[in-house]
Structure 1
Amino acid sequence: MARRDIEFDAEGVTLRGWFYDGEGASGPAPTVVMAHGFSAVKEMYLDSFAEAFAAAGLNVLVFDNRNFGASDGEPRQEIDPWEQVRDYRHAITYATTLDEVDPTRIGIWGSSYSGGHVLVVGAIDRRVKAVVAQVPLVSGSANIGELVRADFRAGFREMFDADRAARFAGDPPAMVPVVDEDPLAPSALPTPDSWTWFTETGKDRAPSWRNEVTLRTVEMLGEYEPGTYIGRISPTPLLMVVARQDHLTPAHLAIGAFENAREPKRLVILPGGHFDAYVEGFDGASVPARDWFVEHLGG
């Protein structure tokens, strides 16, 4: 399968990734733009999804989020969700300059945190003709409410305020682990399955992944409400893939948001938890996504 390294300018920051040629495509073809979720880099199974889509005749543009992996950007390891939303749009713009790409047939795919981003991009960017949101974050505040004990939240707020004062004084940003073996220890994603997936996947597939994000990343997570955009995606087709036992981006939150989406839309509920979509449940997650893009973009 033909894959090449790419890089493009995102208003002053160079983003890097891969471009896959759709198999059997002659002339400009439909193209899926995709990036990973919270702190993850493209080597953490995005190649698997891209290969599945490319085998169906779809071009795929995969990129690392700014401040992560192969992409430039400072401060390193900081996730600003709105910058990541804009970077999807920069990636779409770059894709439309390529001879292999039909600019009238662009789809977007996101998972977990970026599953929230594609809800926003699908609502505000009409170049997008199909959206797939896998195990998406739909509400930062509700998600933190599910994951962080109420008596811990005041401590986080004090840390955010202290970090803001320190940065103002010129200090480097405070950092926090993405995951910790102890789910009660301070971390951005305090669930046992998060610890297992990130540490094992990072070791096996993605040595560039680092187990830290800026503390402000967690503050911005709590401010981000992508689900409020979901009613505006229509008439662009939306597929949402939810894991029944997902407690990291809880299934009931995603399904509640899906109820507010308008047609055309489809909901697929997978067995298992948040991370199963990448490994054991890969076919269950990738096949409906592939078919959705082929149906609505052509392949």
Structure 2
Amino acid sequence: METVQFRNPGMAWHIAADLHFPPQFDSNKRYPAIISAHPIGSCKEQTSGNVYGAALAKAGFVVIAFDASYQGASGGEPRLVEDPGQRVEDFRQVVDYLVTLPYVDADRIGVLGICGGGGYAISAIKSERRIKAVASITGVNFGRLSREGFGGYDPIATLEAIAAQRTAEARGGQGRVDDVLPPSVEAAKQAGINDIDVLEATDYYKTARGQAEQGPTSFLLSRRAAAVDWDAFHLAEVLLTQPLLLVIGDKPGGFGAYRDGQELYGRAASKDKELLVLPNTSHYELYDQPEATGKALERLVPFFKKHLG
């Protein structure tokens, strides 16, 4: 593995990424490449890199797991911003970087996204024709989630709160950073929270299981309006024509991956599309649990080998 930073012409800041290489990698050869996108509030050192990135590299692909702009080790100010437009632009910047690498075959680039990264990957491939195939692991449409669960199912009130906070900051006030998860599973249960996604997310992000310094699960409130007014699946019936693989578990939770996967499978214009529903599997088991991730990879690897060669 190699950690890199790159800044393409026209970029205002750098993107940080980990490159995962196949066994017996030979820089004089050309390989298919996969872009691996982390979940919301996460980073490249978590599931997109250390689980799926490493496994896909072992299967023969060059994999680039990158940190989103404003997050992780990538640049961009202010920090802790989850801007869907920029998240999609990040994919284009990563492709721009990949096509300059002599060992990457520019005609064989795919993309994988986990959770919110899955929604962003879907959105990006609709207009980025250099990406030839897309796979989503328990993918979530962050726009819908921002209007629903992350917005108290009251998007107008959420936007009013964002507007008030932005005005306060414009007048010199302090920024407000919200952690979308409880500090611990015990605290969540004491607060009466019983949603499987919230509890398992807390177990993943707030313990040694998945905790990473650059994955704070926090967002700057004043910069959240763009997410409320966004839809990862917009025009999927028209523009999403590349091969598509959607992997979800059959245990639905509040983040809505089960619902989003079913919806997108029906809407996508792709002629070659697959929906894998794993029984007795939850959203966060697909992050790092060997049985769930192993079953996902059993479908992922042949999917990418078929469509990227």
Category of TM-score, reference length = shorter chain: 0.7 to 0.9
SS at match of 1:254: helix
SS at match of 1:31: strand
Within 1, Cα distance between the matches of 2:104 and 2:212? 28
SS at match of 1:284: helix
1:18 corresponds to which residue? Answer: 18
2:44 corresponds to which residue? Answer: 42
1:275 aligns with one of 245, 268, 284: 284
Per-residue deviation, residues 198-225 of structure 1 (Å, max 9, x unmatched): 1125x75513322421113543332220
**Matched length:** 292
For the 8 Å contact 1:138–1:254, the answer to whether it is kept is no
Instruction: Confirm or deny that 1:254 pairs with 2:240.
Output: no
The one-letter amino acid of 2:44's match is: K
Instruction: Confirm or deny that 1:239 pairs with 2:206.
Output: no
SS at match of 1:191: helix
1:119 corresponds to which residue? Answer: 122
Q: CA deviation at 1:148?
A: 5.3
Mapping of residues 278-297 of structure 1, within 5 Å: 278-280=287-289, 281-297=292-308
Within 2, Cα distance between the matches of 1:276 and 1:85? 26
Per-residue deviation, residues 232-272 of structure 1 (Å, max 9, x unmatched): 44431011112211321241232022101121111111232
2:33 corresponds to which residue? Answer: 31
Q: CA deviation at 1:182?
A: 6.2
1:108 corresponds to which residue? Answer: 111
For the 8 Å contact 1:96–1:103, the answer to whether it is kept is yes
Please provide the CA RMSD for this pair. 2.6
Instruction: Confirm or deny that 1:136 pairs with 2:139.
Output: yes
Per-residue deviation, residues 188-207 of structure 1 (Å, max 9, x unmatched): x9822222221125x75513
Within 2, Cα distance between the matches of 1:160 and 1:148? 11
Q: Please give the TM-score of this superposition, normalised by the length of structure 1.
A: 0.88
Within 2, Cα distance between the matches of 1:147 and 1:251? 17
Query: Structure 1 residues 18, 168: CA separation in 2 closer, same or farther (over 3 Å shift)?
Result: same
SS at match of 1:128: coil
Instruction: Confirm or deny that 1:200 pairs with 2:212.
Output: no
Per-residue deviation, residues 49-88 of structure 1 (Å, max 9, x unmatched): 1111111111111111112211111111111111010011
Segments of 5+ residues of structure 1 without an aligned counterpart are none
Within 2, Cα distance between the matches of 1:146 and 1:193? 16
For the 8 Å contact 2:83–2:224, the answer to whether it is kept is no
Query: Structure 1 residues 141, 207: CA separation in 2 closer, same or farther (over 3 Å shift)?
Result: closer
More displaced 10-residue stretch of structure 1: 61-70 or 130-139: 130-139
SS at match of 2:111: strand
Q: CA deviation at 1:6?
A: 1.0
Per-residue deviation, residues 80-135 of structure 1 (Å, max 9, x unmatched): 11101001110011011001100010001111111111111111011011101121
